[in-house]
């Protein structure tokens, strides 16, 4: 019999130890069964996997127990939210508040359970909630899932497309992948603003340094995903802006900063109808986020209007009574301490510690989402979906390639080196051009990352991602042969560029690189770095920074630097590179996207959602413990007392307040500014209509700015521009200047074509959060609007005044309005 019950999940969340992954299910046979042949993992084949491939074992009843011999099938089939809500018994209410499916005193889920599980209410025929990660696609917490799901670009790459309509399509595709895998609650999107440039999870967040970008992307992602019946979870609320000591730092943030910088993406998610919020690991102003009434009740519900349910991050509850603060669901819900007393949401404990009405309210919120979620399988009977179903498709792979391609930002293009000219001899330099994808190592370590995928709970391991070298080879297929490892030089084909791969042995060797460059016309030099959950990056450098610096310094031919990163990066050698192409970790299609841009098959249109600084000093570093505070790291997580534990924390002051990321750097030189990204097309900007001199009066008023964008020179196939609107408040408002408040991505424009773009500002855009009035208050006075191609390439400006009486406070609290459309080439028709 197949050893299903011995199969353990890779550890989730904060586990610091290597995940116990059983080898029986490892790759080849399993992948063969879904139509993929793994080229790399032959050593892992086992007799047990054969029974998986043939489906001839008890595997399909994975996790079957003696008590429960038949799978439970919900009588609900689809969205039932319009039906009268069924009456729950008290025992059923508490079932909706406490996760199940994990082994006691451990971090592993039982066989057949998802990363998070809320049991079905069988008496009423209600389905289970099957919760699963999420940031780069369906989390491959089991080896068998690899290649059954798409390894998408990371969320930051999707944000870097500046294309909300594309992100909506991503949300839809993700929704269908989750459904195919039996998941009806996705643990995404992440929308924390990138305060700390080195943040280990910045790649999991949609909007980089901009609350506005995150808000726009979160809204369309959620609308897309939830249209499939999969409920979305916006996370991590709030101020989970670093991974260093994420269970111990106490974010001290002033209210205005919270409302203006960190809350808007969450608010946009609420307006888009997101089902759930995940509260964060850290403390906020002295209280753990998941137990903070100020955060979860006052801010989240009363001030931001959230009406879904709040789930805890995994093991983020450290005391009794968090439900009274506004936490509705504890996850994963298992008991972590041997005396059982810390099963905080057990029926007994909820009965003892809940204020009147709290359990009713929490259960009601979860029930509302149970009724909306599409019923799938019921754990533990999810073997078919979880391990066998193929969720990816050719269409999804194509969409993933499109997102990756649109996220590529061309940072520099000296002498119009790119796209590469046909016939050039190209030396491909650096191990990162053909980066490995060590699946076995990733399966052993839950948060191991590589240059294609982030590490941690958001990881979707690709089977055989396209490296830059593979992308170029595929693009030049049939004309170029791969000659194996080591430096080699292919004979020149007269038509296409030839490719030379240097250091196929992954040993970045400057002398070999220089020798190879001597035989070439152009060098493509690759560099990359990784990021993982539970730790911040040790620096902002590329892993090959020294090598690249030397190679570029010694190059005597034009060079293209290709950088693949999980966020901001230092490029101290940028001046020595002729051209620079940047992308965020971009999943299985990485190399195809980059090759398409290098070769001019695609015209780059990505823009940086983060600043590329000149030095680490220009960025906010992760808060570290002050002297005398002893954080005993993992040991402190699971024991009380001793040298650590949850009583220990240290303050992390958000002293930069509103001046986060690019907003604090306007007066300093930077490497490449926020919003930057070139195209092979040059675009002209002009006002299509005289900009209004005053904000128009009237309830719900908005100011419209009409801009005409014309493609000047460029490829006949056209190019897309992201038109950005930056707003500066009247003097004395205390606001950072030049805040991104609107953008539109045009459709593709061929030379000679143009489009009128409408950018809009609402009263809310002209408002600040008033702590005195606990409300958004519009600032009367003269505003400066600048429109351009990046935060530092501003082509048009206008001023307008806002009279004191024009915006009422209801205008200022209303939903954030769409901020841009185009005429004759609508950029985001559904917005």
Determine if 115 is a binding residue for ligand BGC (CB under 6 A).
Answer: yes
Nearest Cα neighbor of 375 from 277, 234, 276, 229 is 229
Q: How far is the CB of 438 from ligand BGC (least distance, A)?
A: 22
Reported as type and span, the H/E element at residue 686 is strand 683-687
* CB closer to ligand BGC, 181 vs 741: 181
Residue 785 and residue 631: Cα distance in Å, rounded? 47
Q: Residue 661, SS3?
A: helix
* CB closer to ligand BGC, 282 vs 530: 282
Show the site string, 261-300: x = touches ligand BGC by CB under 6 A, - = not. Answer: ----------------------------------------
Q: Residue 775, SS3?
A: strand
Which residues, numbered 705-724, are part of the site for ligand BGC (CB under 6 A)? none
Q: Are strands 498-501 and 231-237 parallel, antiparallel or unpaired?
A: unpaired
CB atoms within 10 A of CB 617: 8
Show the site string, 132-171: x = touches ligand BGC by CB under 6 A, - = not. Answer: -x--------------------------------------
* CB closer to ligand BGC, 114 vs 170: 114
* CB closer to ligand BGC, 24 vs 133: 133
* CB closer to ligand BGC, 14 vs 226: 14
Residue 274 and residue 311: Cα distance in Å, rounded? 13
Q: How far is the CB of 262 from ligand BGC (least distance, A)?
A: 17
CA atoms within 13 A on the CB side of 599: 23
Q: How far is the CB of 54 from ligand BGC (least distance, A)?
A: 31
* CB closer to ligand BGC, 280 vs 404: 280
* CB closer to ligand BGC, 21 vs 417: 21
* CB closer to ligand BGC, 13 vs 442: 13
Reported as type and span, the H/E element at residue 28 is helix 27-33
Q: Residue 549, SS3?
A: helix
Which residues, numbered 340-359, are part of the site for ligand BGC (CB under 6 A)? none
* CB closer to ligand BGC, 107 vs 388: 107
Determine if 461 is a binding residue for ligand BGC (CB under 6 A).
Answer: no
Q: How far is the CB of 276 from ligand BGC (least distance, A)?
A: 11
Q: How far is the CB of 440 from ligand BGC (least distance, A)?
A: 21
Radius of gyration of the chain (CA): 26
Reported as type and span, the H/E element at residue 350 is helix 347-353
* CB closer to ligand BGC, 115 vs 749: 115
DSSP 8-state secondary structure symbol assigned to residue 770: E
Q: Residue 804, SS3?
A: coil
Show the site string, 797-816: x = touches ligand BGC by CB under 6 A, - = not. Answer: --------------------
Distances (CA, A) of 723 to 258, 675, 713: 27, 10, 17
Q: How far is the CB of 182 from ligand BGC (least distance, A)?
A: 16
Q: How far is the CB of 214 from ligand BGC (least distance, A)?
A: 16
707-732 burial: b if 16+ Cβ within 10 Å, else e: bbbbbeebbeebbbbbbbbbbbbbee
Token look-up 């699963």 returns 132
Q: Which of 242, 257, 457, 812 binds ligand BGC (CB under 6 A)?
A: 457
* CB closer to ligand BGC, 30 vs 187: 187
Q: Compute the Cα dihedral for 544, 545, 549, 555 and give only its sign.
A: positive
Q: How far is the CB of 139 from ligand BGC (least distance, A)?
A: 7
Token look-up 């000093």 returns 617
Tokens of 720: 């897309």
* CB closer to ligand BGC, 235 vs 607: 235
Q: How far is the CB of 235 from ligand BGC (least distance, A)?
A: 6
Reported as type and span, the H/E element at residue 650 is strand 650-653
Residue nearest to ligand BGC (CB): 13
Q: How far is the CB of 534 from ligand BGC (least distance, A)?
A: 7
Q: How far is the CB of 85 from ligand BGC (least distance, A)?
A: 27
Residue 771 and residue 256: Cα distance in Å, rounded? 6
Q: How far is the CB of 155 from ligand BGC (least distance, A)?
A: 12
Token look-up 């907003």 returns 663
* CB closer to ligand BGC, 584 vs 683: 584
Which residues, numbered 180-199, are part of the site for ligand BGC (CB under 6 A)? 187
Q: How far is the CB of 331 from ligand BGC (least distance, A)?
A: 7
Report whether 679 contacts 719 (CB < 8 A): yes
Determine if 313 is a binding residue for ligand BGC (CB under 6 A).
Answer: yes
Query: First and final CA of the chain: distance in angstroms?
Result: 53
Q: Measured in whole angstroms, how far is the alpha carbon of residue 196 from the centre of its chain?
A: 15
To 10 degrees, the CA torsion angle through 420, 422, 427, 428?
60
Q: How far is the CB of 13 from ligand BGC (least distance, A)?
A: 3
Show the site string, 2-41: x = touches ligand BGC by CB under 6 A, - = not. Answer: ----------xxx---------------------------
Determine if 590 is a binding residue for ligand BGC (CB under 6 A).
Answer: no
Show the site string, 67-106: x = touches ligand BGC by CB under 6 A, - = not. Answer: ----------------------------------------
Q: How far is the CB of 317 from ligand BGC (least distance, A)?
A: 13
Q: How far is the CB of 202 from ligand BGC (least distance, A)?
A: 13
* CB closer to ligand BGC, 134 vs 253: 134
Residue 206 and residue 216: Cα distance in Å, rounded? 9
Number of residues in contact with ligand BGC under rule CB under 6 A: 10
Residue 44 and residue 60: Cα distance in Å, rounded? 22
Q: How far is the CB of 457 from ligand BGC (least distance, A)?
A: 3
* CB closer to ligand BGC, 162 vs 446: 446
Q: Compute the Cα dihedral for 73, 76, 77, 81 and give only its sign.
A: negative
DSSP 8-state secondary structure symbol assigned to residue 102: B
How does DSSP assign 556-592, residue by residue? -S-EEEEEEESS--B-TTGGG-SEEEEEE--GGGHHH
Report whether 805 contacts 788 (CB < 8 A): no
Nearest Cα neighbor of 636 from 622, 654, 627, 649 is 649
Q: How far is the CB of 246 from ligand BGC (least distance, A)?
A: 8
Residue 702 and residue 704: Cα distance in Å, rounded? 6
Residue 367 and residue 682: Cα distance in Å, rounded? 53
Determine if 245 is a binding residue for ligand BGC (CB under 6 A).
Answer: no
Contacts of residue 309, defined as CB under 8 A and 6 or more positions apart, other chains included, come to 275, 276, 277, 328, 329, 362, 365, 366, 368, 369
Show the site string, 553-582: x = touches ligand BGC by CB under 6 A, - = not. Answer: ------------------------------
Q: Which of 9, 176, 249, 314 binds ligand BGC (CB under 6 A)?
A: 314
Report whether 200 contacts 536 (CB < 8 A): yes
CA atoms within 13 A on the CB side of 561: 31
* CB closer to ligand BGC, 155 vs 367: 155
* CB closer to ligand BGC, 107 vs 741: 107
Residue 800 bridge partners (DSSP) = 783
* CB closer to ligand BGC, 147 vs 188: 188
Which residues, numbered 215-244, are part of the site for ligand BGC (CB under 6 A)? 235
> Interface residues with ligand BGC (CB under 6 A)?
12-14, 115, 133, 187, 235, 313-314, 457
């Amino acid at each position: 019999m197949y050893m299903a019950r011995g199969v353990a999940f890779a550890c989730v969340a904060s586990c610091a130890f290597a995940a116990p992954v059983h080898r029986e299910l490892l790759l080849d046979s399993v992948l063969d069964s879904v139509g993929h042949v793994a080229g790399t993992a032959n050593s892992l084949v086992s007799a047990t996997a054969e029974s998986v491939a043939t489906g001839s074992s008890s595997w399909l009843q994975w996790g079957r127990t003696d008590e429960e011999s038949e799978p439970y099938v919900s009588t609900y089939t689809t969205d039932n939210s319009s039906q009268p809500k069924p009456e729950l018994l008290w025992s059923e209410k508490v079932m909706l508040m406490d996760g199940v499916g994990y082994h006691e005193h451990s971090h592993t889920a039982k066989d057949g359970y998802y990363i998070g599980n809320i049991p079905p209410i069988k008496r009423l025929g209600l389905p289970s909630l099957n919760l699963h990660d999420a940031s780069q696609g369906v989390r491959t917490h089991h080896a068998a899932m690899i290649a059954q799901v798409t390894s998408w670009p990371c969320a930051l790459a999707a944000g870097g497309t500046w294309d909300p309509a594309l992100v909506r399509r991503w949300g839809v595709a993700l929704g269908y992948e989750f459904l195919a895998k039996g998941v009806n609650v996705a643990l995404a999107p992440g929308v924390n603003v990138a305060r700390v440039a080195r943040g280990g999870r910045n790649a999991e967040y949609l909007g980089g340094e901009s609350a506005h970008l995150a808000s726009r992307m979160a809204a369309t992602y959620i609308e897309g995903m939830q249209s499939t019946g999969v409920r979305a979870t916006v996370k991590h609320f709030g101020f989970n802006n670093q991974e260093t000591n994420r269970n111990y730092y106490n974010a001290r943030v002033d209210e205005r900063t919270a409302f203006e910088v960190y809350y808007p993406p969450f608010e946009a998610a609420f307006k888009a109808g997101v089902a759930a919020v995940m509260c964060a690991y850290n403390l906020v102003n002295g209280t753990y986020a998941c137990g903070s009434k100020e955060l979860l009740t006052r801010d989240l519900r009363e001030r931001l209007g959230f009406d879904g349910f709040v789930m805890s991050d995994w093991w983020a509850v450290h005391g009794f009574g968090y439900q009274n603060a506004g936490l509705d669901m504890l996850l994963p819900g298992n008991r972590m301490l041997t005396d059982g007393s810390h099963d905080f949401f057990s029926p007994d404990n909820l009965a003892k510690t809940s204020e009147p009405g709290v359990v009713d309210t929490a259960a009601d919120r979860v029930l509302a989402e149970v009724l909306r979620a599409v019923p799938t399988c019921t754990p533990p009977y999810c073997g078919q979906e979880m391990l066998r179903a193929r969720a990816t498709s050719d269409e999804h792979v194509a969409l993933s390639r499109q997102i990756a391609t649109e996220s590529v930002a061309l940072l520099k293009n000296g002498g119009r080196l790119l796209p590469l000219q046909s016939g050039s001899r190209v030396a491909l330099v650096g191990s990162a051009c053909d980066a490995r994808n060590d699946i076995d190592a990733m399966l052993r370590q839950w948060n191991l990352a590589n240059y294609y995928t982030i590490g941690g709970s958001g990881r979707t391991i690709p089977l055989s991602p396209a490296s830059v070298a593979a992308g170029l080879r595929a693009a030049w297929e049939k004309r170029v042969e791969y000659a194996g490892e080591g430096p080699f030089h292919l004979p020149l084909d007269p038509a296409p560029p030839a490719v030379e791969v240097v250091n196929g042995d992954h040993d970045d060797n400057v002398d070999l690189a220089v020798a190879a460059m001597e035989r070439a016309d152009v060098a493509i030099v690759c560099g990359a770095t990784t990021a993982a959950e539970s730790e911040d990056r040790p620096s902002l450098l590329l892993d090959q920074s020294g090598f690249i610096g030397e190679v570029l310094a010694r190059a005597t031919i034009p060079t293209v630097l290709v950088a693949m990163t999980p966020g901001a990066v230092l490029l101290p050698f940028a001046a020595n590179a002729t051209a620079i192409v940047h992308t965020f970790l971009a999943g299985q299609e990485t190399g195809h996207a980059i090759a398409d841009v290098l070769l001019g098959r695609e015209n780059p249109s990505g823009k940086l959602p983060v600043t590329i600084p000149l030095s680490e000093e220009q960025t906010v570093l992760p808060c570290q413990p002050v002297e005398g505070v002893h954080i005993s790291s993992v040991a402190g997580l699971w024991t009380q007392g001793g040298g650590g534990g949850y009583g220990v924390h240290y303050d992390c002051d958000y002293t930069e307040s509103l001046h986060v990321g690019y907003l604090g750097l306007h007066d300093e030189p930077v490497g490449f500014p926020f919003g930057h990204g070139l195209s092979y097309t040059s675009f002209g900007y002009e006002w299509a209509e005289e900009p209004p001199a005053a904000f128009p009066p009237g309830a719900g008023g908005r100011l419209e700015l009409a801009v005409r964008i014309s493609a000047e020179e460029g490829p006949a196939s056209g190019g897309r521009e992201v038109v950005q609107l930056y707003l500066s408040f009247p003097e004395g408002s205390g606001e950072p200047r030049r805040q991104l408040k609107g953008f539109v991505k045009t459709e593709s424009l061929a030379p000679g074509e143009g489009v009128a773009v409408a950018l809009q500002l609402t009263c809310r855009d002209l408002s600040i959060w008033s702590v005195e009035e606990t409300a958004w208050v519009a600032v009367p006075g003269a505003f400066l609007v600048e429109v351009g191609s990046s935060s530092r390439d501003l082509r048009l400006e206008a001023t307008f005044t806002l009279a004191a009486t024009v915006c009422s406070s209801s205008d200022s609290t209303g939903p954030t309005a769409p901020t841009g459309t185009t005429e004759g080439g609508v950029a985001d028709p559904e917005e």
